[in-house]
């Protein structure tokens, strides 16, 4: 098994910012409610607009983190191995 490559995981592991209980709740909602990591990645890198319900202070923190990460190294995007699996 390889480590989770998602931006939100890097954010949580490498730079856990101090968050209030309310912010932790918003972060939990952000990482659990969207249907996939690509949505969060696109919002954080501003490739797509963030829906109003997720456009919170926590998403702003994630956007700042994405900008800093992009200066340090290229982000590894979520794997697409499932696209190349043979049909069952």
pLDDT by residue (tens digit) across 58-73? 999 999 888 876 565 5
The answer to whether residue 38 is domain-embedded is yes
Q: How many distinct structural domains can be found in the chain? A: 1
Q: Which of 20-24, 52-56, 69-73 has the lowest mean pLDDT?
A: 69-73
Place of tokens 């995007």: 77
Residue at 63 is within a domain: yes
- On the CB side of 71, CA atoms within 13 Å amount to 5
Q: Does any domain span residue 56?
A: yes
Residues 6+ apart with CB under 8 A from 33: 54
- Is residue 81 one of the residues assigned to a domain? no
Verdict on whether the full-model pTM lies above 0.75: no
């Amino acid at each position: 098994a390889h480590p989770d490559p998602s931006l939100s995981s890097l954010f949580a592991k490498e730079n856990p910012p101090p968050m209030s209980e309310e912010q932790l709740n918003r972060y939990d909602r952000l990482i659990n409610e969207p249907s996939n990591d690509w949505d969060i990645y696109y919002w954080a890198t501003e490739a797509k607009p963030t829906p109003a319900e997720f456009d919170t202070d926590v998403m702003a923190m994630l956007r700042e983190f994405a900008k800093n990460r992009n200066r340090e190294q290229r982000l590894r995007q979520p794997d697409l191995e499932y696209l190349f699996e043979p049909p069952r």
